[in-house]
Amino acid sequence: MLESALNSLLEGRHVPADKITLQKDDCSVYERFWGRLQTTLKSMLSVALPAATNKSVAPSQQTGDVNKLKNMYMLSLKATDFSQLHAIYKLWVS
């Protein structure tokens, strides 16, 4: 379910950057979008961290997934515009 939500949010990368013009009144849209993305990533991280202690999956794979989610979350915190969704998406599919 969280992966589906993240995929939906990352679909925003297909909107051409020149079509996104946020006026002063539209700042709440921008803030809500990034807030939702950050909340989704944080939820995924909270699920992945306890799973990283599970011994049934290879530790290197768990560490990689957790690190990937951490990096995606950090990028979302630093985002200044929607064009940065491409970098987050690249991490997600790597």
Domains of the chain, by residue range, sit at: 2-93
- Give the pLDDT band (50/70/90) at residue 93: confident
Amino acid letter for position 71: N
Q: Is the pTM of this model over 0.85?
A: no
pLDDT tens, position by position, 7-63: 777 776 656 555 555 555 567 777 888 888 899 999 999 888 876 666 555 555 667
The values of phi and psi at residue 58, to 5°, are -60, 130
pLDDT of residue 11: 73
pLDDT tens, position by position, 62-79: 678 889 999 999 999 998
Please name the helix (run of DSSP H) or strand (run of DSSP E) that holds residue 7, with its range, or none: helix 2-10
pLDDT at 85 over 90: no
